[in-house]
Structure 1
Amino acid sequence: MSQPKPVQCIGIILDGNRRWAKEKGVPTLEGHRRGFETLKSIARAVRERDVPHLAVFVFSSENWNRPREEVAGLMDLLKEAVRGGTKDLVAEGMRLRSVGDPARLDEDVRAAIESVETESASNRELTLWICLSYGSRAEIVAAAEAAGAHEGLLTEELIRQHMWTAEMPDPDIIIRTGGQKRLSNFLLWQAAYSELFFRDVLWPDFKESDLDAVIEEYGNRQRNFGV
């Protein structure tokens, strides 16, 4: 598929795993597992469309408030995914970067993430930004505090340099699956001029054709960057 205009970064809010599981009559964790398989498929599709960056909202800072059993299952699935499930993506040349506050993650989860980040550091096919234990407001506060420690004028650029996502381009496109129409504390600073796309499809059912439809619609929009 040819892109009408270049896309440097796509952000996706992966919504609908739990509802998918409920509709299918399977455990909630199976919905999350199916969602991970969809993530791998879409990451490959994004790479094939020559988009160099993909940011995905995997686990928000608010998700810690979910039932303890579900959170524990998610952390186990995350370890399983990072240790084994992402090996093929890394072998295919993708770089994995974790973005968020790691303080609440178990030590073995942090170690697994650090290992795959190190292993994939020289890969250039696609940078997959995993937003994990992430909240955009917390990111902005942390960046403002770090920037404020410098002498001189506090500027947007100075704050940006201290963001957790400082090396990630602002997303041209943000997609939310699952039918909800809100950003839910995802990349609020970076989304200032992003084109937003809300889709009714649940994340485990999101397909390459859905991605292509978004990219095509993006090509037909006029971006004014606030003008």
Structure 2
Amino acid sequence: MDGNGRWAQQRSRPRTFGHRAGLRAVRKVVRAAANSGVGYLTLFAFSQENWKRPVTEVNLLIQLFVTVLRREISALHKNKVRIRFIGQHADFPTALLQQMQRAEALTRENTGLQLLVAVGYGGQWDIVQAAQRVVDRGQLLSIEGVQAELVTADAPAPDLLIRTGGESRISNFLLWQLAYTELYFCATLWPDFDEAAFAEALAWFAGRQRRFGCLPESA
């Protein structure tokens, strides 16, 4: 979800203004995903690298996160959305951790959209922690063994990655899981990404021929 800061700068507003606008885009996309029959949606909300941003911005992001969880969790639960948080959370404040735990507990049995929120997440960290778990059990490293220990072990590999904001990179997101994912990059800044933009990305994906390293069926 890239482009909040630039969106705000274009309007001569502080970056925090863009982050608040980005939350509105989150609501739209979660709703669009649920209405489109998407089973799993993973949002990259806060990377491990984001800790390097100015302290004031990091604190605001955390405050926004706590506020949004308190405000939105009832609506998500009502619509059968299950929410989970993936990443390394040891450095998060207690208030945020408590809200995350409550949200997960409340929605644990929901069978609608499975919403994974990546916070304090890094793809390299995910692979290393998974490999370490395998080694700690005294097992030889294997694709199957590492995959079973990833934070997304109980979720399917992503079909489609959408990155907004005009950058053409995946920025340490789900590095292992994206091995055969279709990558969709668009110039739209995240606060402007709405239901129509999401539908356009799905339409692009529908036109892709997924071969997973094999020859086309017509070959």
SS of the residue 1:103 aligns to: coil
2:128 to 141, 153, 173: 141
> How many residue pairs align between the two structures?
214
The worse-fitting range, judged by mean Cα deviation, of 48-57 and 17-26 is 17-26
Equivalent residue number for residue 110 of structure 2: 123
SS of the residue 2:67 aligns to: helix
**Counterparts of 2:92 and 2:201 in 1: how far apart (Å)?**
33
**Counterparts of 1:56 and 1:152 in 2: how far apart (Å)?**
32
Q: Does 2:137 align with 1:150?
A: yes
Equivalent residue number for residue 93 of structure 2: 106
Q: Does 2:187 align with 1:200?
A: yes
Contact 2:134–2:140 (8 Å) recurs in 1: no
User: Aligned-residue CA RMSD in angstroms?
Assistant: 1.0
Equivalent residue number for residue 217 of structure 2: none
Structure with greater contact order relative to length (CA < 8 Å, sep ≥ 6): 1
1:216 to 203, 208, 212: 203
After superposition, the Cα gap between the structure-2 partners of 1:21 and 1:86, relative to the gap in structure 1 and judged at 3 Å, is farther
One-letter code of the match for 1:226? G
**Counterparts of 1:120 and 1:191 in 2: how far apart (Å)?**
26
1:122, distance to aligned residue in structure 2 (A): 0.8
The worse-fitting range, judged by mean Cα deviation, of 171-180 and 212-221 is 212-221
TM-score by length of 2: 0.95
The worse-fitting range, judged by mean Cα deviation, of 105-114 and 82-91 is 82-91
After superposition, the Cα gap between the structure-2 partners of 1:153 and 1:88, relative to the gap in structure 1 and judged at 3 Å, is same
**Counterparts of 1:75 and 1:163 in 2: how far apart (Å)?**
25
Equivalent residue number for residue 181 of structure 1: 168
Contact 1:22–1:28 (8 Å) recurs in 2: yes
**Counterparts of 1:35 and 1:108 in 2: how far apart (Å)?**
22
Contact 1:93–1:124 (8 Å) recurs in 2: yes
The worse-fitting range, judged by mean Cα deviation, of 118-127 and 24-33 is 24-33
1:152, distance to aligned residue in structure 2 (A): 4.0
Q: Which runs of 5+ in 2 are unaligned?
A: 215-219
Q: Which runs of 5+ in 1 are unaligned?
A: 1-13
Matches within 5 A, 1:3-82: 14-82=1-69
**Counterparts of 2:73 and 2:184 in 1: how far apart (Å)?**
27
**Counterparts of 2:124 and 2:67 in 1: how far apart (Å)?**
29
1:224, distance to aligned residue in structure 2 (A): 1.2
Equivalent residue number for residue 93 of structure 1: 80
